[in-house]
Each structure stands twice: as structure tokens, then as C-alpha cells.
Amino acid sequence: MSAHSIPAMKPMRIMLRLLLATALILPLSIHYADAIVRMLMPLYRLIFEFIGDDYQIKFFGLAARGVESVIRVDVSMAHALIVGGHLVFPDPRGTANVTTPVVQIIQPATVALIAALAWPCSSLKRWFLRLTALAFFLLIITSLDAPFLLAGEVWSLVIDHMSPGTESALVTWSQFLQGGGRAVLGIFAALASVAVENFFFRSAPSAIQGKITISASYRS
């Protein structure tokens, strides 16, 4: 990687930027968490309906759990299921309820923004490209977060009741997210956005230089 592709890094300066970014982003993310998740709720429900087509949704939306806001999902079985070799028939009276805190849903975005803002950047064009790439990666991550986690939690209830110990990729993903995976995904999104920025600005001078060389050769 060329010396001019990334600004010179000074540990104390980066630490100061990290502290300032945290002081700015953390309160804002907590304050606007409900509004952000409410805006994304149609996307979450659409994905949940696609991956959780074994369930009939009774409720899908924001709810209060004590002093915190959560996404709550109430579902019932839509048809008979085979779980661990057992045939399970739907019970009209049976309803499963799962929740996930709103502030945890936006954790990847919070971590990613703090990391992306703390990383040195030399121009407004670079900032624009970095944040645009970051928004794209975060949209993918949030699509794989809340709806998959909630579907995994519902499926975990079914497994625990009918066939304890049965492995499920959906349940494993849900456990990963709740076990620190959201922070990992946030850091990944920040690093990926910086990589996109550096790739573009490293390639751009080469392309310009190539055009100049071709033009000069043509004139000669």
C-alpha cells in the first residue's frame, strides 16, 4: 500500500479522534435508536416473513419492556413441522413471543461509525466515499441482524421444547450476534468502508496517469 494512500497515523491523535467520535455518536445513537429502527421495521418484517414462513405473525413491531424499547414478535405455527424427527402440529392457542432490545440492534452501526470517524481521512471526497460505502455495508448487516436473530429465537424455543440439543444454523447465528458478534460486524463494516475508499483513491491516480501517457504518445 502506498505511503500517500493512508494518512500518517499517530496513536495519540487516533485515540483522541476515537474518544471524540464516541462522545458524539454514542448519545446520538441512543437518542435516535427508536426512530432508526422504526424506519427499518418494514424491511425487518419483510425478511422475517421470508425466512420464517413456518410461522403466522400475530404482532411484529416496537414495544416497551420496562424502561427499554424492544422489537417484539408474536407468532404461531402456520402448519405442521418436523423437529428432530418429531411431527409437531400447530395449536391455535399456542403463541411464541420473542424480543430484542432496540439499542442492541443499532450496535453495529454505532461501532462502525465510531471506528470510521476515528480513522484518519485526508479529504472531503474520501469522507463521502467512506460513509457511502459504510451505509451500504450497514444496510446488509442490519438485514442479517434483527430479522434473523428473531427468527432464530423463535426456532430456538421450538427446538428446546421438542428436541433439545438439535443444531441449527439460524440459532447459531442468533447466538453469535448476541455474544458480541454485532460489535465484530460493526468493526468489519468500518474496515471494509476504509478499504473501499483506499482502493478507489489508489486506483484513480493510476487511471489518470494512464490517460496522460496514452495522450502524450498519441501527440508524439
State residue 9's pLDDT score: 57
Q: Which residues contact 180 (CB under 8 A, 6 or more apart)?
A: none
State residue 218's pLDDT score: 45
Q: What are 108-111's contacts with CB under 8 Å, separation 24+?
A: 108/138, 108/141, 108/142, 108/145, 108/182, 108/183, 108/185, 108/186, 108/189, 109/29, 109/36, 109/138, 109/142, 109/186, 110/25, 110/26, 110/29, 110/186, 111/182, 111/183, 111/186, 111/187, 111/190
Enumerate the domain spans of the chain.
Answer: 11-53+103-215
State residue 93's pLDDT score: 74
State residue 28's pLDDT score: 94
Walking along the chain (220 residues) 10 residues at a time, the average pLDDT comes out as 50 85 93 94 95 89 91 87 73 84 95 92 90 96 95 88 82 94 96 93 54 45
Q: What is the pTM of this model?
A: 0.81
State residue 141's pLDDT score: 96
Q: Which residues contact 163 (CB under 8 A, 6 or more apart)?
A: 83, 84, 85, 86
Is the distance from CB of 110 to CB of 28 less than 8 angstroms? Answer: no
Distance CA 27, CA 52 (A): 34
